[in-house]
Amino acid sequence: MRPISYSRVSDVGTAIGTVAADPHSAFLAGGTNQVDLLRIYVEQPRRLVDINDLPLKQVEELPGGGLRLGGLARMSDVAEHPTVRRRYPMVTESLLLGASPQLRHMASVAGNLMQRVRCTYFRDTEAPCNKRAPGTGCSAMEGVNRGHAVLGTSECCIATHPSDLGVALMALDAVVQTEGPAGQRSIPIDDFYLLPGRTPEREHPLTHGELVTGIDLPPLPVAARSRYIKIRDRESYEFALVAVAVAMSVAGGRIAEIRLALGGVATKPWRARAAERELDGAPATPESFTRAAEAEMAGATPHGMNAFKIELGKRTIVRALTEMAEREGSA
Amino acid sequence: MSPAIGATLNRVDGRYKVRGESRYSAEVPVPNLAHAVVVNAKVASGRITSIDTSEAERATGVLAVLTHRNLGRVANVPRLLPSLAGLAAPGQTFFPMQDETVHYGGQPVAIVVADTIERADHAGTLIRFEYETTPATTLLDQARDRAYVPERIFGGLLPGQGSRGDVAKALAEAEVCVDATYRFAPNHHNPIEMSASTAIWDDVDRLTIYDSTQGPNAVQLTVAELLGLPPISIRVVSHAVGGSFGSKAMVWHHPTLAALAARHVGRPVRLVLTREQMFTSCGHREEQEQRITVGARADGRITALRHHKISLTSPFDDWAEPSLQSAAVAYLNPNYEGVYHLVRGNTITPTFMRAPGEATGMFALECAMDELAERVGIDPLELRMRNYSDTDPESGKPWSSSGLRECLQRAAELFGWHDRDPRPGSRREGQWLIGTGLASALYPVTQPVNPQRAKARIYNDGTAVVEAGVSEFGTGVFTAMTQVAADALGLPVERVRFVGGSSNLPNITAAVGSAGTSAVGSAVHVTACELRDQLIRRAVGDDHSPLHGADPARVEVRDGKMVLADHPDVGETYSDLLHRTMTPDVEVLGTWNPPPQDAGYGIHTFGAQMAEVAVDAELGVVRVRRMVGVFAPGRVLNRKLAHSQLMGGMLWGLGQALMEATRMDPRLGRWANASLADYLVPVNADAPDVVVDTVEMRDDVVNPIGIKGVGEIGVVGAAAAIANAVHHATGRRCYELPITLEKLL
Amino acid sequence: MKSHQAIRTAPAPDSAVVRGPDEVEVRLRVNGTTRRMFIEPRVSLLDALRDRLDLHGTKKGCNQGACGACTVWVDRRRVLACLTLAISCENREITTIEGLAEGDTLHPMQQAFLDADAFQCGYCTPGQIMSAVALLTEGHARDDDEIKEWMSGNLCRCAAYPHIRRAIRRVRDEQGGERASH
């Protein structure tokens, strides 16, 4: 790790002002990603501004029935919050299926959204990587890419976005609240994540010094009937090969409301809109689920070792929908 | 007093470990300590054309930057010999930083020494290297056409090929033939403690190294040769080792590099490998492919076995883990051919990894056996029974002890094997396809070639200390040796203390190949018996002793008291004797001479593995629901500890079967997943409850305490049982490890 | 991207105290005792404990947050010391394995690990024990499946996992289920 200086701030204004004033500085929240990347020289700020004393740790009711997760609320606290658990079970599940209990105690939900990709070439400072060193090429394209994305890829980058929480938030149309030198912003989660395109180094629209202060979960009755399933090689403590966040209600045998998002397969938490279009109003049957899965993965592009994710993705979508439908049927 | 051997004693060092008080090699407090960091080549083949160390040298706290230009030459690189031999045992016959050539990715090219670990680490990134690269071979598939059959492998200990009978003819005549090729991803040991060496020169030529190793003596002898120093100048200490699994069996570069760095800066130096460096600094299980052809009669009796292996080795050494040994003798089989093929590549020399050779070789055989059972329509258990050999099929000599049939039968009882519907895909629970599989387990018993020594001293208060230079890396050897010594001396375990972990102690070969406990145990037994007998002889020769004039052969020791075997009320304690004769203590140095390599017996450890898996019918996810392993490891010194080690071995087999793989990027010539986040090993949630049992077969041949070892046998066959269970669940055979879910979609 | 309402607030100027990058004085409260050291801000809590305070019970297994060997408690919650900067822990209460036993008397979890033979090489053990005690406090040890999942952040390469579960069950049952705490 290169030498760094350290400041600790206790109010949002100072935090933003301090980081904004120094192009070589960065916020330090839970540190689980920041310290790791500092140690392997992928992130190289010279100054860390510790924001853990900022009053952004609450989970609060919003007028109109939504919920605001403070940006610095810990993954474990959000996961176990009774209201989150009751109204947005997929959020709880996505958090509890991520990382480990120790990491969940450390990591903030804002930091979780901001975490960098796990691509081995991104983490290897000697390897070409367009995201870390724009213009150097993508080593993953023809490399060890079993974990890489099949959706939302570009010729510049195929790294999978690793967040589980982000997938649930994508399904819920959460809104990211930020505050920066230019003021406060509300950014829909779908806009918060950028596709790699020709600029994979840009992962989100935040400016330097702009801080994620909170995440708003909209009032969404269907979210109470939701779940998050995650498929991986080992039973725990691993990033997803495929993950599905689904909220669904069925009325009269037909799908009345559907929200579907995918993780582990895309360069950003992936809202499965093509599948949703197929499912909206369709009979809650295996045929509909298969058709939806096919529609969503029709746009997928394999890159060698990760080709299986297309089929696995389809089957996991069908599995998630089937289980939700069974639950709805028995409810 | 009931015997200590066989008792379920808690680990004698356990108390320190649960308190965090055991000192591993990077944890010994040393004044004025400096920290060294190794910098590794980022290319796999080529030449360093320039190095700029100026920025690193100017960095705060930096004491030295060493490269091939200023490190100094090593005196002599010893030949590669498994550390069981008791001699110098370098992991490879190449020592880095001697010239500008780069042979493999991760080869050490510089060392930075600084006053703190953070400063050393950062300065290492400030060195600028330029390379002229040459094409590298890092995958088997890149160079199959360059394969050769080595004359000898494994440090020269084993021939490159072997045969008996006429395998071609027998295969041509076989009524049934199974021909299958198995591929194995490279594997890395990944003990949780990363290798570490702390080097302290207390004079120009007196060196102490605290090192994490399976063999302090091997480190001493290897470093001595490399530095051109006599062994008397070097002491190697290893208080506690945080796992090894073979990664610390041979002597790699770091202790010598630490010593050289410490000499250079004139301060003690600690060198701890990083997790990433653990993938390029202490060997690995090599990428390999094995083709097995089994010929059999229609009733399943094997008539021929052809077993070829091709694997990647380094530019320096003809290394292949010995995968053909157990398969060659597992079953009665008159016609056999086994051949190792090697391909030279740009890699560090591969090395031992838990159940070396047999983890892969027996996987291939036992999967082929499962296929044969299906082909001939015989239960897999019955097929093994039918092909059982009560002699070593290679030599025709009897087994010193076997137990294979007993293990299979006992495992079948514990597992409920006989209720099994043999049809693949016949059991389903919701989304899960359920399958069961079994495999035999064999592991050769290797004897040390040199005398093994231990020292025992009894004090006049009746407590005894026993010493030998073995290190404790999780096997429980300190505990087992306490028990062996206690029984031999006739003392309760509380009055015996075992001390190990230093090259200054009586010489013992490295604890490798499951031979550690048998080697040191035999030495401790012989030594403690000698001490006891000496005291008995003193007593019967002392006219003040109640035992005066007794026949020493009729005297035994109970709870520290020497008594007449048939008049236990007549006798005296060790303590009485020593106090009366004004003797503070008595000490003996004992030697166990291992039997000759050709002792007239086939010596193997046997076992049986059974596993039940659930395979997600649509998603391909495999979960192991339960495992049963029954083993015949000879005598069991401590049931609790032995079962733990066997259980750990079986769960290693689970990792091998389902998740462990190191992935090479051939363009970069480097491992692409050199971290514990990316090289997956089982976590708690992956590990089912495991049933372990042992069948104790008396063995008077193998060594005086009748033990064969438990370190490896638990791994052998576990992966095959799982793969066979996956087939039973799904009807699909997997010919490539690990069995990741995409192979079952 | 859609446009958003921009409420202009005046960010405070860079008024935060800058410490480092050279060595600064850091005070940590570890196992009930305040310890003072001069370290660079980049020093991890793990290296501070091991190399500066000679508290080697907390282990380094990966330095990347992937193994759990460095598990300690900060303000009674289990966290990873390798991904924590020591300087960020001022005013926090740090507990390590050395703070668990009461003198010569082992913590019940330490004793249970010993009796269940829940380790072999012992290197991951302090982290496992710190995690296991926290697990009971958190109330995630109701059954074996829960223990498995909530102990999966601690790798044990010797694979003593079934025995680790046995040790945890014993302490849970002795202490009356979820009420158990240190």
Residue ranges of E strands in B283-391: 288-296, 302-313, 336-344
- Average pLDDT of the segment spanning B513-520: 84
- The confidence score (pLDDT) of residue B512 equals 81
Q: Give per-residue pLDDT as tens, B429-453.
A: 999 999 999 999 999 998 898 999 9
**Pair B353, B269 in one domain:** no
A120 at B interface, C-beta within 8 A: yes
**What distance lies between CA A25 and its chain's CA centroid?**
24
Distances (CA, A) of C68 to A154, B9, B255: 35, 28, 27
Q: Give per-residue pLDDT as tens, B229-247.
A: 999 999 999 999 999 999 9
Residue B690 pairs in a beta bridge with B627
Which fold, C108-179?
DNA polymerase; domain 1 (1.10.150)
Angstrom distance (rounded) from CA C23 to CA A246: 50
Q: Which of B619, B623, B665 comes nearest A312 by C-beta?
A: B619
User: CA of C129, closest CA in chain A: separation in Å?
Assistant: 13
Chain mean pLDDT for chain B = 96
- The confidence score (pLDDT) of residue C3 equals 39
Q: Please answer yes or no on whether B745 and A312 come within 8 Å at the CB atom.
A: yes
Neighbours of B41 (CB within 10 A): 24
Burial class (CB in 10 A: 0-12, 13-18, 19+), B32: exposed
- The confidence score (pLDDT) of residue B310 equals 98
Chains touching A (at least 3 CB pairs under 8 A) are B, C
Q: Give per-residue pLDDT as tens, B562-610.
A: 999 999 999 999 999 999 999 999 999 999 999 887 779 999 999 999 9
Q: Which of residues 261-320 of B touch C (CB under 8 A)?
A: 272, 274-275
Upstream peptide bond of C21 is cis (omega within 30 degrees of 0): yes
- The confidence score (pLDDT) of residue C13 equals 61
- Average pLDDT of the segment spanning A159-167: 98
ipTM > 0.90 (yes/no): yes
**Pair B553, B635 in one domain:** no
User: CA of C3, closest CA in chain B: separation in Å?
Assistant: 39
Q: Give per-residue pLDDT as tens, A308-321.
A: 999 999 999 999 99
Burial class (CB in 10 A: 0-12, 13-18, 19+), B183: middle
- Average pLDDT of the segment spanning C73-96: 98
Chains A & B: contacts with CB separation below 8 Å = 79
- Average pLDDT of the segment spanning B274-284: 98
Q: Please answer yes or no on whether A6 and C148 come within 8 Å at the CB atom.
A: no
Q: Please answer yes or no on whether B118 and C51 come within 8 Å at the CB atom.
A: no
Residue A164 has pLDDT above 90, yes or no: yes
CB C3 within 8 A of CB C68: no
Q: Which of residues 111-150 of C touch A (CB under 8 A)?
A: 131, 134-135, 138, 140, 148-150
Q: Which of B663, B668, B742 comes nearest A127 by C-beta?
A: B668
Identify the domain boundary among B561, B592, B623: B592
Active site includes B225? no
Q: Please answer yes or no on whether B23 and C56 come within 8 Å at the CB atom.
A: yes
CA angle B741–B712–B631, rounded 5-degree value:
95
Burial B523-545 (b: 16+ CB within 10 A, else e): bbbbbbbbbbbbbbebbbebeeb
Chains touching C (at least 3 CB pairs under 8 A) are A, B
**Pair B611, B668 in one domain:** yes
**Pair B211, B223 in one domain:** yes
Q: Please answer yes or no on whether A315 and B745 come within 8 Å at the CB atom.
A: yes
Which fold, C24-99?
Ubiquitin-like (UB roll) (3.10.20)
Pairing of the two strands B34-40 and B269-272: parallel
Which residues of B touch chain A, with CB atoms under 8 Å apart? 42, 60, 118, 121-122, 125, 431, 618-621, 623, 658-659, 663-665, 667-668, 670, 672-673, 677-678, 680, 682-686, 740-742, 745
Burial class (CB in 10 A: 0-12, 13-18, 19+), B569: exposed
Angstrom distance (rounded) from CA B716 to CA B712: 7
B20 at C interface, C-beta within 8 A: yes
Chains touching B (at least 3 CB pairs under 8 A) are A, C
Which letter does DSSP use for residue B389 in this model?
-
- The confidence score (pLDDT) of residue B204 equals 73
Nearest C-alpha in A relative to C5: A185
- Average pLDDT of the segment spanning A135-156: 98
Identify the domain boundary among B592, B611, B637: B592
Identify the domain boundary among B592, B612, B627: B592
Residue A301 pairs in a beta bridge with none
| Tally of CA atoms within 13 A in the half-sphere of B671 that contains its CB | 28
User: CA of C2, closest CA in chain B: separation in Å?
Assistant: 37
Residue A244 pairs in a beta bridge with A229, A262
Task: Give the rounded percent of residues in chain B with a pLDDT score beyond 70.
Answer: 100
Q: Which of A4, A22, A100 comes nearest C42 by C-beta?
A: A4
**Pair B636, B696 in one domain:** yes
CB B232 within 8 A of CB B5: no
User: CA of B600, closest CA in chain C: separation in Å?
Assistant: 35
B245 at C interface, C-beta within 8 A: yes
Q: Which of C115, C119, C156 comes nearest B17 by C-beta?
A: C119
Angstrom distance (rounded) from CA B539 to CA B516: 34
Q: Which of residues 55-114 of C touch A (CB under 8 A)?
A: 63-65, 68, 71, 77-80, 82-85, 87-88
User: CA of C121, closest CA in chain A: separation in Å?
Assistant: 22
Angstrom distance (rounded) from CA B628 to CA B173: 37
Per-residue confidence at A208, pLDDT binned at 50, 70, 90?
Answer: very high
Residue C1 has pLDDT above 60, yes or no: no
**DSSP letter for each residue of B91-112:** SSS--SSSSSEE-STT-EEEEE
Q: Please answer yes or no on whether A144 and B742 come within 8 Å at the CB atom.
A: no
Q: Give per-residue pLDDT as tens, B102-157.
A: 999 999 999 999 999 999 999 999 999 999 999 999 999 999 999 999 999 988 88
Domain A222-330 class?
alpha beta
Per-residue confidence at B3, pLDDT binned at 50, 70, 90?
Answer: confident
Nearest C-alpha in C relative to A50: C88
Number of structural domains (chain B) is 3
**Pair B400, B486 in one domain:** no
- The confidence score (pLDDT) of residue B514 equals 75
Nearest C-alpha in B relative to A143: B665
Residue B510, SS3 per DSSP:
coil
CB A121 within 8 A of CB A128: yes
Which residues does chain A have within 8 Å of residue B122's beta carbon, measured at their own beta carbons? 1-3
User: CA of A1, closest CA in chain B: separation in Å?
Assistant: 6
Q: Give per-residue pLDDT as tens, B689-726.
A: 999 999 989 999 999 999 999 999 999 999 999 999 99
**Pair B510, B371 in one domain:** no
Nearest C-alpha in B relative to C128: B18
What is the end-to-end Cα distance of chain A in Å, rounded?
54
Angstrom distance (rounded) from CA C20 to CA C13: 20
Mutate to test the interface with B, among C39, C60, C111 (most CBs of B within 10 A): C60
Q: Which domain holds residue B47?
A: 32-135+195-243+248-279
Angstrom distance (rounded) from CA B147 to CA B95: 25
Q: Give per-residue pLDDT as tens, B51-84.
A: 999 999 999 999 999 999 999 899 999 999 988 8
Q: Please answer yes or no on whether A22 and C14 come within 8 Å at the CB atom.
A: yes
Q: Which of C60, C64, C117 comes nearest B675 by C-beta?
A: C64
Burial class (CB in 10 A: 0-12, 13-18, 19+), B683: buried
The arrangement of secondary structure in A5-50, i.e. its CATH architecture, is 2-Layer Sandwich (3.30)
Q: Give per-residue pLDDT as tens, A212-258.
A: 999 999 999 999 999 999 999 999 999 999 999 999 999 999 999 99
Looking up residue B60, the CATH number of its domain turns out to be: 3.90.1170.50
Domain with CATH 3.30.43 in chain A: 5-50
Which residues does chain A have within 8 Å of residue C65's beta carbon, measured at their own beta carbons? 32, 36, 103
- The confidence score (pLDDT) of residue C2 equals 38
Residue A273 has pLDDT above 50, yes or no: yes
Angstrom distance (rounded) from CA A49 to CA A17: 10
Angstrom distance (rounded) from CA B73 to CA B97: 8
**Pair B660, B730 in one domain:** yes
Q: Which of A13, A106, A236 comes nearest C83 by C-beta?
A: A106
Phi, psi of B195 (to 5 degrees): -60, 140
**Pair B225, B291 in one domain:** no
Phi, psi of B156 (to 5 degrees): 80, 0
The residues spanned by each domain of chain C are 24-99, 108-179
Which residues does chain B have within 8 Å of residue A120's beta carbon, measured at their own beta carbons? 665, 672-673, 678
Nearest C-alpha in B relative to C42: B118
pTM: 0.97
CB B368 within 8 A of CB B178: yes
**Pair B164, B210 in one domain:** no
- The confidence score (pLDDT) of residue B510 equals 83
**How long, in residues, is chain C?**
182
- The confidence score (pLDDT) of residue C12 equals 63
Which letter does DSSP use for residue B346 in this model?
S
Mutate to test the interface with C, among B18, B28, B676 (most CBs of C within 10 A): B18
Radius of gyration of chain B (CA): 27
**DSSP letter for each residue of B655-711:** HHHHT----EETTTTEES--STTTS----GGG---EEEEE-----SSS-TT-B--ST
> Of B193, B358, B472, B712, which residue is the catalytic one?
B712
Per-residue confidence at C108, pLDDT binned at 50, 70, 90?
Answer: very high
Residue B4 lies in a domain: no
- The confidence score (pLDDT) of residue B678 equals 97
Residue B11 lies in a domain: no
Upstream peptide bond of B380 is cis (omega within 30 degrees of 0): no
Roughly what angle, to the nearest 10 degrees, separates helices B358-376 and B718-730?
Answer: 30
Nearest C-alpha in A relative to B622: A233
Which residues does chain C have within 8 Å of residue B688's beta carbon, measured at their own beta carbons? 162
**Pair B453, B506 in one domain:** yes
